[in-house]
């Protein structure tokens, strides 16, 4: 698996709208040749089920904690042109030798002032720095990025207690690439009223994998937190694990929280955060809705507006 996750090979062109730059861009995908082999090749599909099991992904993730893994950092930064001036070194380390392992680099923090959270009470700030799809509500006829039934509150939450609360509500899907900042945050002030874990597989969440296996978002390992927010009603906050993700870490108290406060982080791998709201409380930003209708994700920086209160 480690050899499969080393190369960047252009196989499938994934276009997205870069909101900060105001332009369309083509994503440079990490490991897409391996993902294409696992999900589109008949022989590879035989192995994808094995590689998507928790023990395999946890083992691979654990290797990213080893000191030798930090040798991958410099080539990774160069390949994806990551501006390291935006980030803090690991606590206790210097800028000359900032991270003790690849995982410590992967969960790097922004320097203070590099990102700020919109404070207007009628605007929801981005909870992840990621590529977003947005929906005013989910219906069976939708096909972006998967059939609507695979993004339904019933499927995502797998909990009858909350199914009716979020029926026909708005949804934001934030896909984090391996190159992205991998900490996720609370979108508003409020309190946690429920939290539970759903065990499952750890398939890749890349567009390549979703194209071949549409049920990934409701069959993968995920953690669900129900939030009572001050300005946007109840929100179901769902972290979806993925292949090579060793762990989803909840770094907050899971009690009360402030707007922009860190909620947790993913260890190595591409990952997804989904939030579902109550009908009539808020809608995703108009530009996100428009790009989604055209099958295009919107890259949004952490803290910038992704939805508006109704």
Residues of the chain with pLDDT under 50: 1-11, 37-39, 44-46, 48, 50, 52
Distance from C-alpha of 237 to C-alpha of 54, rounded to nearest angstrom: 22
Distance from C-alpha of 53 to C-alpha of 202, rounded to nearest angstrom: 6
Instruction: Tell me the per-residue pLDDT of 96-143, one tens digit each, with 9 for 90 and over.
Output: 999 999 999 999 999 999 999 999 999 999 999 999 999 999 987 788
Contact 99, 284 (CB under 8 A): no
Distance from C-alpha of 22 to C-alpha of 24, rounded to nearest angstrom: 7
State residue 5's pLDDT score.
39
State residue 245's pLDDT score.
59
Instruction: Let me know if 22 is exposed, middle or buried by CB neighbors in 10 A (0-12, 13-18, 19+).
Output: exposed
Q: Give the DSSP letter string of 15-34.
A: EEEETTTTEEEE---SSHHH
State residue 43's pLDDT score.
52
Contacts with 38 (C-beta within 8 Å, 6 or more apart), sequence order: 44, 45, 47, 48, 51, 204, 209
Whole-number Cα distances in Å, 120 to 30, 134, 169, 241, 243: 36, 20, 22, 31, 37
Instruction: Let me know if 205 is exposed, middle or buried by CB neighbors in 10 A (0-12, 13-18, 19+).
Output: buried
State residue 8's pLDDT score.
39
Which residue, 130, 152, 126, 124, is CA-closest to 283? 124
State residue 215's pLDDT score.
76
Which residue, 158, 205, 194, 186, is CA-closest to 29? 205
Q: Where are the beta strands (DSSP E) in 148-200?
A: 171-176, 183-185, 190-198
Distance from C-alpha of 279 to C-alpha of 166, rounded to nearest angstrom: 7
What global pTM score does this model have? 0.87
State residue 203's pLDDT score.
63
b/e string for 210-220 if b means 16 or more Cβ within 10 A? bebbbebbbbb
H/E segment holding residue 47: helix 42-51
CB neighbourhood size of 93 (10 A): 13
Contacts with 76 (C-beta within 8 Å, 6 or more apart), sequence order: 82, 102, 105, 179
b/e string for 113-143 if b means 16 or more Cβ within 10 A? ebbebbeeeebbbbbbbbbbbbbebbeeebe
State residue 122's pLDDT score.
97
State residue 257's pLDDT score.
98
Q: Give the DSSP letter string of 103-148.
A: HHHHT--BPTTS------TTEEEPSSSEEEEEESS--TT--SSS-G
Distance from C-alpha of 237 to C-alpha of 61, rounded to nearest angstrom: 23
């Amino acid at each position: 698996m480690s050899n499969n996750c080393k190369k960047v090979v252009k196989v499938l062109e994934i276009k997205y709208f870069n909101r900060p730059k105001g332009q369309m861009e083509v994503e440079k995908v990490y490991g897409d040749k391996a993902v294409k082999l696992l999900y589109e090749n008949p022989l590879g599909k035989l192995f994808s089920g094995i590689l998507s099991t928790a023990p395999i992904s946890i083992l691979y993730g654990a290797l990213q904690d080893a000191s030798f893994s930090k040798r991958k950092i410099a080539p990774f930064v160069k390949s994806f042109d990551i501006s390291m001036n935006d980030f803090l070194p690991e606590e206790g380390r210097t800028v000359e030798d900032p991270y003790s392992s690849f995982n410590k680099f992967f969960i790097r923090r922004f320097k203070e002032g590099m990102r700020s959270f919109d404070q207007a009470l009628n605007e929801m700030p981005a909870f992840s720095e990621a590529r977003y799809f947005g929906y005013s509500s989910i219906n069976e006829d939708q096909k972006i990025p998967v059939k609507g039934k695979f993004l339904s509150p019933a499927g995502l939450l797998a909990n009858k207690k909350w199914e009716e609360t979020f029926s026909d509500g708005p949804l934001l899907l934030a896909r984090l690439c391996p190159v992205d900042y991998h900490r996720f945050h609370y979108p508003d002030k409020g309190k946690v009223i429920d939290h539970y874990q759903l065990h499952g597989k750890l398939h890749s969440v890349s567009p390549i994998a979703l194209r071949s296996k549409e049920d990934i978002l409701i069959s993968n390992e995920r953690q669900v937190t129900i939030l009572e927010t001050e300005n946007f009603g109840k929100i179901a906050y769902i972290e979806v694990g993925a292949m090579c993700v060793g762990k989803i870490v909840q770094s907050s108290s899971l009690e009360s929280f402030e707007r922009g406060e860190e909620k947790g982080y993913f260890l190595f791998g591409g990952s997804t955060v989904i939030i579902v709201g109550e009908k009539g409380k808020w809608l995703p930003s108009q530009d996100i809705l428009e790009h989604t209708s055209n099958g295009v994700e919107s890259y949004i920086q952490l803290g910038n507006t992704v939805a508006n209160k109704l």
